[in-house]
Amino acid sequence: METTKVNFSKHASERLLSRNITLTGEQLERLSTGVDEAKKKGIKESLVMLDNLYFIVSVTNDTVVTALDKETSDRNVFTNIDGAVLV
């Protein structure tokens, strides 16, 4: 089975840039695997936690909506999601 290719919204791309977050190929692959796992469970909007990075993903669109790291996360509250995946 082929892994889903994850897209990044303009907002998510800006967040990655402003927070100096660079993803390795291996991390992108794990992120895609997390999105695939969320799909299998019927999740529509997911928090995908990867290393010390957090991604809010529109699973139905295969799109990362926003991204942050543990250092820039001032709160550990995530809203408007219906599931979470740790990869």
* pTM for the structure as a whole: 0.91
Is the domain defined by 7-86 classed in CATH 3.30.2310? yes
Amino acid at 34: G
Q: What is the pLDDT of residues 11-23, one digit of tens each?
A: 999 999 999 999 9
The CA-atom distances, in angstroms, between 80 and each of 26, 35, 44, 58, 65 are 27, 16, 10, 10, 12
Give me the sheet containing 45-50, strands edge to edge.
7-8, 63-69, 53-58, 45-50, 83-86
Return the bridge partners of 7, or none.
Answer: 63
| 74 has a pLDDT exceeding 90 | no
As a whole number, the mean pLDDT across the chain is 93
Tokens found for residue 41 = 């469970």
